[in-house]
Amino acid sequence: MTILIKPFGENSCEDEKRLLDNNYEKYYFRNRRFENKLLDRNTYLIVGRRGSGKSSLIEYFSFADLHGKNYRSIDVNEPQLYQVVLEKVARLLEENALHTTHKTRLIWKYVIWALIFREYAGKDDEIRIAEFMDVSDEKKNTPSRIVLNIIQSLVNKFTGIGGIEAVFDTIEDRLNSEVFRRAQEAVLKHSKADEAVIAIDSIEDYPTGNSAMMAAISALIEFASEFNGEYCFRGLHLKVFMSAEVFPHLLSSVIPNPLKVVRDPLVMHWRPKELLRFVCWRWYMHLKETSRWKESDTVDFERPADVMKKVWEPYFGKELINGAGVRENSFVFILRHTQLRPRQLVIICNKFFNIISDNHYYSDNPSRDAASSVDSVQSLLATEVINSYKKIHHNADKILNALTGLPMMFKGKDLDRVARVTSSQWENEEYSPYNFRMLCAELGIIGRVRRYNEASGVIEADFEYFNEDNLILTDRDDCVFHPLFFQRFNVQHNIPNAIVYPFPDHPDYQL
């Protein structure tokens, strides 16, 4: 069997699928909280930040026998192709002033039903006839490629305003035709027992300054809301995966009626116990595949305490002495240097493994080895977070350089003081101290101190990445850096023996 090159997993779902092929399901970690919500018929919108596992969750529908059902899985999950699709839809809208929600929803309706007809074509002649909507001649094309071909055919047909209007007239005629109606009825006859899921993945970077592309994404969410309401109980499910980095902008500035359109999304906020079970499941699989696990030993992966004791601690140590001279759990030390995202944890744990692999898979000095694993990737992880906003906030990396050299804990008014030096870097946004504070909070770099225990040195803080709403920092707040960014911004340790715990004040976030 092919095993992962890195024991805790690769840096992306795409790499893991390429290496594991049909064995991917075996390595996939079952987060039942996410899965149950995803399978809920009313769930059509899934929101998560980069590295939270959105692409992996899409693969869940391709597994056999989910809750006693076998779904047809139609995955539009090639982000590079999907980005081209969005750009072409935006071009159709922008160059021809057809910046209307109705027009854009027509495109998505046309595309989604083309995919559905293609999937069910072998079931019924009425559906096969309607495959005129599928402009691809190559049946082996992926759903992402089919969508791109359909959009490309629209782009190729328009010449000026009249041309594109004719294209939309043609789309409307086809969607209102008897052939389309009969094909729909045939699909719905089969989908009651033979259900299908159309899952559309997010792209890495969303240019919020491109109003046409934002309108295209907004229209997709609106269409998904309508489609789900009409067909989810008839066996057709449309699931749209959206980047949490851009989602607040869509809610506040683009989606015309968010209360109506956005209904109870699945927000991918991982909890510490889930992340512990996730990395330990991958480690456990590696130990089994390399014959290092005693088959007589059993682990209850539904009990985090059992997982910690049997899978984590024997190899990575139970406790360590951190840089502040404070004793703490070795896993918690690593976890607090992430923003509670699987990818970040995987990268740090793989580094930890690299250090102990030559010592019989055992750390005889967790304090040294855990610190080294974090130090070696800390700047890389911080840069990835900042880069994920490069098309949302232009020059974000240059603007945030103003934070360099600040102390780990400070008053909010100090943000206003350093904000002034960034005024020339705000290209497409209006500079203000308030906007600077919002940027620092939005990226999860600066949080608000919730509690500081001088005796233990623990600073508990709230950060925006696990909040449902924006974290508002005022000039009166006690603010603190997230540990992930200490190295990136050369943060000064102005409080001796202090450590930052960037976890919510909630029982679900306790280990």
- Asked whether residue 85 falls in the same domain as residue 230, the answer is yes
Phi and psi, residue 237, nearest 5° = -130, 125
CA–chain centroid gap for 382, Å, is: 16
pLDDT of the residue at 100: 63
Q: Quick one: average pLDDT of 185-192? A: 94
- Count CB atoms within 10 A of the CB of residue 373: 25
Shortest CA distance to 439 belongs to which of 462, 422, 451? 422
Residue 14 inside a domain? The answer is no
pLDDT tens by residue, 436-447:
999 999 999 999
Are the C-beta atoms of 252 and 4 separated by less than 8 Å?
no
Q: What is the dihedral of CA 405, 409, 414, 418, to 10 degrees?
A: 30
Say which range, 130-134, 244-248, 393-397, 506-510, has the weakest mean pLDDT. 130-134
Judged against a pLDDT cut of 90, whether residue 365 lies above it is answered with yes
- Count CB atoms within 10 A of the CB of residue 372: 14
pLDDT tens by residue, 107-119:
889 889 988 998 8
- Asked whether residue 132 falls in the same domain as residue 37, the answer is yes
Judged against a pLDDT cut of 70, whether residue 158 lies above it is answered with no
Residue 413 inside a domain? The answer is yes
C-alpha dihedral sign at 446, 372, 54, 41: negative
Judged against a pLDDT cut of 70, whether residue 67 lies above it is answered with no
Q: How far apart are CA 329 and CA 318, in angstroms?
A: 6
Q: Quick one: average pLDDT of 306-313? A: 96
- Asked whether residue 342 falls in the same domain as residue 407, the answer is no
Count of domains forming the chain: 3
Q: What is the dihedral of CA 51, 52, 55, 58, to 10 degrees?
A: 180
Q: Which residues pair with 197 in a beta bridge?
A: 73, 237
Q: Quick one: average pLDDT of 30-46? A: 93
Residue 21 inside a domain? The answer is no
pLDDT of the residue at 3: 62
Judged against a pLDDT cut of 80, whether residue 159 lies above it is answered with no
Distances (CA, A) of 128 to 108, 149, 153, 187: 20, 19, 20, 10
Q: How far apart are CA 494 and CA 311, in angstroms?
A: 37
Q: How far apart are CA 212 and CA 104, in angstroms?
A: 10
pLDDT of the residue at 1: 43
- Asked whether residue 301 falls in the same domain as residue 409, the answer is no
Judged against a pLDDT cut of 60, whether residue 300 lies above it is answered with yes
- Asked whether residue 41 falls in the same domain as residue 172, the answer is yes
Instruction: Report the percentage of the chain scoring pLDDT > 70.
Output: 92
Residue 249 inside a domain? The answer is yes
Say which range, 24-38, 68-82, 380-394, 449-463, has the weakest mean pLDDT. 68-82
pLDDT of the residue at 135: 46
Residue 24 inside a domain? The answer is no
- Asked whether residue 355 falls in the same domain as residue 418, the answer is no
Structure tokens at 427: 């290209």
Whole-structure pTM value: 0.91
* Of 209 and 465, more confident: 465
Say which range, 66-70, 111-115, 175-179, 448-452, has the weakest mean pLDDT. 66-70
Q: Quick one: average pLDDT of 247-258? A: 87
pLDDT of the residue at 133: 57
* Of 40 and 170, more confident: 40
Residue 183's domain comprises 31-267
The residue type found at 20 is L
Most confident of 52-66, 86-100, 124-138: 52-66
Q: Quick one: average pLDDT of 315-331? A: 92
Structure tokens at 246: 């851009």
Residue 38 inside a domain? The answer is yes
Give the pairing of strands 319-321 and 327-329.
antiparallel
Residue 23 inside a domain? The answer is no
Q: Quick one: average pLDDT of 75-81? A: 78
* Of 14 and 231, more confident: 231
Contacts of 458 (CB under 8 A, 6+ apart): 451, 452, 498, 499, 501
Q: How far apart are CA 294 and CA 117, in angstroms?
A: 50
- Asked whether residue 172 falls in the same domain as residue 237, the answer is yes
Judged against a pLDDT cut of 90, whether residue 352 lies above it is answered with yes
- Asked whether residue 84 falls in the same domain as residue 181, the answer is yes
Q: How far apart are CA 487 and CA 378, in angstroms?
A: 7
pLDDT of the residue at 131: 64
Give the pairing of strands 266-267 and 45-48.
parallel
Are the C-beta atoms of 110 and 171 separated by less than 8 Å?
yes
Give the pairing of strands 478-481 and 446-453.
antiparallel
pLDDT tens by residue, 473-492:
999 999 999 999 999 999 99
- Asked whether residue 106 falls in the same domain as residue 88, the answer is yes
The residue type found at 317 is G
- Asked whether residue 205 falls in the same domain as residue 56, the answer is yes
Q: Which of 320, 351, 386 is the last residue of a domain?
A: 386
- Asked whether residue 441 falls in the same domain as residue 482, the answer is yes
- Asked whether residue 367 falls in the same domain as residue 409, the answer is no
| DSSP characters over 6-61 | STT--SSHHHHHHHHGGGHHHH----HHHHHHHHSTT--EEEE-TTSSHHHHHHGG
Shortest CA distance to 414 belongs to which of 402, 423, 396, 428? 402
Q: What is the dihedral of CA 380, 341, 56, 70, to 10 degrees?
A: 180
The residue type found at 294 is K
Q: Which of 360, 386, 412 is the last residue of a domain?
A: 386
Residue 20 inside a domain? The answer is no
Judged against a pLDDT cut of 80, whether residue 454 lies above it is answered with yes
Q: Which of 240, 267, 294 is the last residue of a domain?
A: 267
* Of 283 and 145, more confident: 283
